């Protein structure tokens, strides 16, 4: 039996790429299923059926996909959505930055998405193994060659005020997201839906002509413009979560204010002092299961990276259970590692930070200049500036762990070649090169990064590129404005684990309008062979580097210090999955 369990574990440890190498993966998962049946491991059996369904789905084989999903749904119903831990209830205490918004279809930043993920539930969710599994939708069907999705909602899904969650709640949320008044960069996330782009652009005035239908409260039908293998992944993104029709009708946009909000996820807000503190409790109407034992969450609404001394003081006293150190200044990070080394956890993320060069602004319209600016040595940047708190982005824009990642396409750091290119472009030793601005949001680390990059360009090329730091909300909106700065720092966290999200969604308009880029990205969206599709995405990523449209700098990590009383620290960071020892004192 032990040997069988080891074999099964080995078979399951294939990573996300196996979902996309579908021919090998299909046989692989069929062998896993046989092992799991022999072991009687229903939970992993259900998840593996879902993996197989997603593999067929990614290969546009919707008939076999539906068969595999149906098998998975049947096992899922037998075991429940998750296994309940028999633990005494406990309170989780932490620091978390204040969200900009708690209105799912209108969230525009990572902080808000994090909060929405704790408070709301969507049609599906993504498991720890990056597999799409049921959430509010208990099952689904895919018809018409992948252009129609039918979702059957759980009848026990309710809002925290006891009202049922309906298909209409999803339709309302998506219509609000597609409203012409919504920023285009946000609305475009749903342009796969039939009529969505035309509706957002004002070319379609009747919202009933959108590809969204609800024949009854528990059935949602979605028609797409064309098949999209990543559509199920998209529905796990927080901005696709529902809104309560009854509250929006009553309060309008004010429904999502913390003191009024109702939620359909594992937690609800019980108190909120803006920019100070919040308290959350389990939602008594939550339809899912808690794999952890956290019944309450006490949150200090402060970004620990901004007040790291206070954060460390609270952590040392045992007042908080988890302290995130992502963005800590170098000296603070080293101090925390020295004091609490045994508590340290780092978590890889599907995220990349980099620099966008605006080719519409002279002299950046010259590819020689843009290539010269790629003189930054990412390995030194990460080691010297970030103290190895990230991984150097030596490949493309698509990060490691995401299908389509190319580990070796980055241009080599060659100062001599960079100076030659500048001279050929008419700027020998930087003479005659106009000063440019580089915009990044404000904060201790961004200021240090800006100074480092400006110094390298000055020392290596003799040019002046001035760091300009603006409030986070202003910076977050810049990438989608026509007046993009000459040099723009960018970071993107995957909304869902598909390369399309990074290349079509995660880049500003100035990059997406490159002709070669557009041709390849549009071809990748419609091709049905998954190998060919990933090859096209790799070509797109290579274009970004060859045309010097973007310079990837680092693949990000998140850094945490976790108090020993936290017995289970889920890498997804969902509070419902934490296990905290209620009897053990902090510290």
**Domain boundaries, position 456:** 351-558
Which of 177-186, 240-249, 516-525 has the highest average model confidence (pLDDT)? Answer: 240-249
The answer to whether residues 236 and 135 belong to one domain is yes
Q: Using the structure block, give the residue that is written with the tokens 């009897």.
A: 583
Count of other CB atoms within 10 angstroms of residue 217? 14
CATH number at residue 188: 3.90.76.10
The answer to whether residues 49 and 140 belong to one domain is no
What percent of the chain is modeled with pLDDT above 70? 90
Q: Using the structure block, give the residue that is written with the tokens 């060069």.
A: 357
pLDDT at 491 over 50: yes
- Phi/psi of residue 151, each to 5°? -110, 130
pLDDT digits (tens, 9 = 90+) for 195-224: 999 999 999 999 999 999 999 999 999 999
Which among 236, 251, 266 is the end of a domain? 251
CATH number at residue 550: 3.10.105.10
Q: Using the structure block, give the residue that is written with the tokens 């035309």.
A: 198
Q: Kindly state whether residue 391 falls inside one of the protein's structural domains.
A: yes
The answer to whether residues 457 and 551 belong to one domain is yes
The answer to whether residues 501 and 423 belong to one domain is yes
Quote the pLDDT of residue 523. Answer: 86
Q: Please, which pLDDT band fits residue 17 given cuts at 50, 70 and 90?
A: very low
What is the mean pLDDT of the segment spanning 282-297?
94
Number of domains in the chain: 3
Q: Please, which pLDDT band fits residue 151 given cuts at 50, 70 and 90?
A: very high
Q: Kindly state whether residue 264 falls inside one of the protein's structural domains.
A: no
Residue 362 region, left (φ>0) first, then alpha (ψ -120 to 50), else beta? Answer: beta
Quote the pLDDT of residue 547. Answer: 94
Q: Kindly state whether residue 454 falls inside one of the protein's structural domains.
A: yes
Give the integer Cα–Cα distance in Å for 503 and 234: 14
Q: Kindly state whether residue 176 falls inside one of the protein's structural domains.
A: yes
The answer to whether residues 164 and 73 belong to one domain is no
Which among 193, 217, 251 is the end of a domain? 251
Burial readout 262-271 (b: 16 or more C-beta within 10 A, e: otherwise): bbbbbbbbee
The answer to whether residues 139 and 22 belong to one domain is no
- Average of per-residue pLDDT values in the chain: 87
Q: Please, which pLDDT band fits residue 390 given cuts at 50, 70 and 90?
A: confident
CATH number at residue 11: 1.25.40
Which among 79, 103, 134 is the end of a domain? 79
Helices (H) and strands (E) in the chain, counts: 21, 19
Upstream peptide bond of 363 is cis (omega within 30 degrees of 0) = yes
Quote the pLDDT of residue 271. Answer: 97
The answer to whether residues 18 and 158 belong to one domain is no
Give the integer Cα–Cα distance in Å for 473 and 217: 37
Q: Kindly state whether residue 335 falls inside one of the protein's structural domains.
A: no
Q: Kindly state whether residue 541 falls inside one of the protein's structural domains.
A: yes
pLDDT at 482 over 80: no
Q: Kindly state whether residue 502 falls inside one of the protein's structural domains.
A: yes
Among candidate residues 104, 84, 98, the one with its CA nearest the CA of residue 242 = 104
**Torsion 571-576-581-585 (CA) sign:** positive
The DSSP string of 327-342 is T--HHHHHHHHHHHGG
The answer to whether residues 421 and 363 belong to one domain is yes
pLDDT at 587 over 70: no
What is the mean pLDDT of the segment spanning 386-401?
88
pTM here? Answer: 0.79
Count of other CB atoms within 10 angstroms of residue 208? 9
pLDDT digits (tens, 9 = 90+) for 73-127: 677 666 543 444 446 899 999 999 889 999 999 998 888 999 999 999 999 998 7
Query: Greatest CA separation found in the chain?
Result: 74
The answer to whether residues 545 and 402 belong to one domain is yes
The answer to whether residues 377 and 499 belong to one domain is yes
The answer to whether residues 449 and 359 belong to one domain is yes
The answer to whether residues 548 and 408 belong to one domain is yes
What is the mean pLDDT of the segment spanning 379-408?
88
pLDDT at 412 over 70: yes
Count of other CB atoms within 10 angstroms of residue 72? 24
Q: Please, which pLDDT band fits residue 434 given cuts at 50, 70 and 90?
A: very high
| Helix residue spans in 255-358 (DSSP H) | 308-316, 330-340
Q: Please, which pLDDT band fits residue 68 given cuts at 50, 70 and 90?
A: confident
Among candidate residues 139, 170, 133, the one with its CA nearest the CA of residue 153 = 139
Q: Kindly state whether residue 73 falls inside one of the protein's structural domains.
A: yes
pLDDT at 3 over 50: no
């Amino acid at each position: 039996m032990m040997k069988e369990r080891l074999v099964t574990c080995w078979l399951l440890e294939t990573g996300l790429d196996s979902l996309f190498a579908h021919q090998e993966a299909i046989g692989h998962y069929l062998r896993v299923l046989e092992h799991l049946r022999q072991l009687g491991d229903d939970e992993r059996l259900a998840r593996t059926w879902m993996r197989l369904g997603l593999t067929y789905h990614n290969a546009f084989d919707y008939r076999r996909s539906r068969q595999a999903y149906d098998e998975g749904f049947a096992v899922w119903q037998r075991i429940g959505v998750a296994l309940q831990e028999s633990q005494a209830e406990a309170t989780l205490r932490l620091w978390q930055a204040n969200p900009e918004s708690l209105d799912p279809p209108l969230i525009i930043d990572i902080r808000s998405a994090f909060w929405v993920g704790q408070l709301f539930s969507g049609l599906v969710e993504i498991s720890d193994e990056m597999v799409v599994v049921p959430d509010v939708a208990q099952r689904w069907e895919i018809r018409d060659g992948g252009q129609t999705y039918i979702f059957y909602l759980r009848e026990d899904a309710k809002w925290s005020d006891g009202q049922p969650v309906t298909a209409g709640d999803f339709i309302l949320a998506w219509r609000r997201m597609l409203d012409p008044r919504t920023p285009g960069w946000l609305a475009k996330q749903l342009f796969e839906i039939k009529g969505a782009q035309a509706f957002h652009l004002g070319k379609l005035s009747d919202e009933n002509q959108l590809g969204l239908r609800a024949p009854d409260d528990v059935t949602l039908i979605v028609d797409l413009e064309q098949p999209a293998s990543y559509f199920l992944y998209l529905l796990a993104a927080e901005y696709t979560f529902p809104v309560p029709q009854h509250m929006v009708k009553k309060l309008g946009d004010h429904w999502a204010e913390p003191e009024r909000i109702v939620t359909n996820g594992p937690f609800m807000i019980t108190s909120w002092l803006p920019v100070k503190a919040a308290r959350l409790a389990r939602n008594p109407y939550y339809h899912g299961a808690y794999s952890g034992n956290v019944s309450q969450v006490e949150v200090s609404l402060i970004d620990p990276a901004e007040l790291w001394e206070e954060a460390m003081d609270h952590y040392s006293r045992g007042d908080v259970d988890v302290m995130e150190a992502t963005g800590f200044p170098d000296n603070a990070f080293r101090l925390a590692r020295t004091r609490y080394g045994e508590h340290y956890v780092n978590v890889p993320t599907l995220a990349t930070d980099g620099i966008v060069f605006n080719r519409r602004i002279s002299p950046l319209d010259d590819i020689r200049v843009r290539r010269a600016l790629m003189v930054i040595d990412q390995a030194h940047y990460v080691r010297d500036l970030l103290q190895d708190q990230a991984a150097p982005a030596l490949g493309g824009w698509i990060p490691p762990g995401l299908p389509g990642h190319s580990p070796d396409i980055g241009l080599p750091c060659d100062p001599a070649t960079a100076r030659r290119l500048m001279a050929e472009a008419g700027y020998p030793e930087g003479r005659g090169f106009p000063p440019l601005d580089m915009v990044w949001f404000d904060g201790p680390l961004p200021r240090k990064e800006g100074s480092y990059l400006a110094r390298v360009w000055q020392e290596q090329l003799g040019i002046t590129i001035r760091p300009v730091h603006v409030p986070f909300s202003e910076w977050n909106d810049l990438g989608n404005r026509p007046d993009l700065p000459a040099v723009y720092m960018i970071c993107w966290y995957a909304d869902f684990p598909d390369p399309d999200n990074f290349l079509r969604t995660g880049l500003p308009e100035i990059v997406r309008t490159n002709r070669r880029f557009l041709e390849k990205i549009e071809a990748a969206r419609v091709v049905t062979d998954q190998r060919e599709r990933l090859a096209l995405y790799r070509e797109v990523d290579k274009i970004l580097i060859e045309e010097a449209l973007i310079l990837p700098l680092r693949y990000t990590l998140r850094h945490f210090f976790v108090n020993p009383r936290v017995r289970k620290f889920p890498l997804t960071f969902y509070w419902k999955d934490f296990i905290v020892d209620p009897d053990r004192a902090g510290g």
